[in-house]
Amino acid sequence: MQPTLNLNFQKMHANGDDFVIVDSRNSPSPVTSAIARRMGDRNRGVGFNQLAVLLDCDDADARVMFWNADGSALDVCGSATRGVADLLMREANVASVALRTNRGLLICERTPNGDICVDMGVPLYGWSDIPLSQDLDSTVLPLAGSPAACSMGNPHCTYFVDDLADVDIAIIGPAIETHPLFPLKTNVHFVQVVDRTHIRLRIWERGAGIALGSGSCSCGAVVNGIRRGLLDSTVEVKCDGGNVTVQWDGVSSVFLIGPVEASFSGTMSQA
């Protein structure tokens, strides 16, 4: 009989985009795809959109590995990155931390009002970087609705619509997520431009479904809006769960700024 594995965790959310943090510093990561899937089950586990696992790191305050609720791995999660940064800043009583991810080194700072600002890195929009299955102009894809695509370390597909109320996200989202044009699947967002500094965003998240918010999706949506010439360099993004701010100068790193809150902590037994 295998011994029972007890996983201590912290659950947090960013404007309702919920995630779980497992601290595995000083020990090997206990999380596998199967464990992530069980923890992510909202009926039989803890429930989350993403899971972040903290590991020791030689060149940063921690290494962070991310999982979706369906057990698939991903390179970055903007909301969970803000949560990990908040946790580590409070632990060390500092105002900034560096986190090593598969996306690269992410520098995180606490703003004067308590929000967390993350340097999410430079967006990618070459077809092979997103990736797309063929060489296409990612500014306007040959799909109904003419969406744009980019990568923030994970793939994003953005539709610009006149009225979000007319969009059936539960139908369009999964169809585009699994479209053959996206060999690694994709996040799908629907943007209603309010003005050049404000958008309304609804999200179908790869591996998670409809989400109240998403940091990387907010970044991807703004990047694609700026590339289309629809938005200025600083944009307030209103998601179903609340607001974040995204800044991008069109050339260098994207900055994601928003709040995080602790929900509860506990221990999950995994036989």
Q: Would you tell me how many other CB atoms lie within 10 Å of the CB of residue 251?
A: 7
- Residue numbers in the chain where pLDDT is lower than 50: 1
DSSP three-state, residue 155: strand
pLDDT of residue 22: 97
Go through 69-98 and write b for each residue having 16 or more CB atoms within 10 A of its CB, e for each that does not.
bebbebebbbbbbbbbbbbbbeeeeeeebb
DSSP three-state, residue 101: strand
pLDDT of residue 228: 97
pLDDT of residue 1: 42
All domains in the chain, ordered by first residue: 5-111 (3.10.310.10), 148-258 (3.10.310.10)
pLDDT of residue 6: 85
